[in-house]
Amino acid sequence: MSDKQLAAQAAADLIPTGACVGLGTGSTADCFIEALARRVQQDNLMVTVVASSVISQINAERAGLSIVGLDTLNRLDVYVDGADEIDPDLTVLKGRGQDLVKEKLLAKAAKEFWIIADAGKQVGFLGENFPIAVEVMPYSLKLARQKLADLDVKAELRKQPDGGNVFITSAGNLVLDVRLPSSDAGLWARRLALVPGVVEHGIFHQLVNRALLASGGDLRTLYPEAETFAANSTDDGSTDGD
């Protein structure tokens, strides 16, 4: 069993019967889908799932999971997904795929957001290995790029892997891959959200409730410090800084 399979299995083992579970997107999320389906089959676990992408929905259907549409949700107990990077405060970076908007929506909507990953995803600061994905509306591209330049943020329009056409998200938007001038993830989560035309960005700040990280067959579970969430509380009860 690989490290990401170990982390995925550990998360699946924690899902209670009757839960509504959000499914992330990517190879690690696929491992979780497989592990959750095994629990349904072997332990008679009763769950419903909602997918963050078409590919996750297809994989869930193939695995025999009971799927509900995002538009029908009135509650989401837990959202489980992988991450591109995880910093010491459990702020995570996502957005290498096409489904950033749905992933962030589910992470915010869920009572709990769990990250599953191999320990190699841990970094000293967000953006250490990958640029930050910033999803923008096509007609606001020029305005967004200028505002980012004003903030001393370097932005490059993402293209398809073959270097030809521009990259289009599942929501029909463009992606700017940006390099930030400082490592304060919370500050940039707020600043990027205020840039004109930005639909969403890849900084998942103060959203993770639990991170299951595997390394060499060993599993560790990390939790955010209580003051991390308290420091970002607002009058309306929100705990997300972006």
- Write out the catalytic residue numbers: 103
Q: Which among 95, 98, 78 has a CA at the least distance from the CA of 208?
A: 78
What per-residue string of b and e applies to 166-194 under the rule 16 or more CB within 10 Å gives b? Answer: eeebbeebbbbbbebeeeebbebbbbbbe
Phi, psi dihedrals of residue 170, rounded to the nearest 5°: -65, -20
Token pair listed for 146:
């200028």
H/E segment holding residue 227:
helix 226-230
Q: How many CA atoms lie within 13 A of 159 on its CB side?
A: 6
Bridge pairing between strands 154-157 and 174-179: antiparallel
H/E segment holding residue 221:
strand 218-222
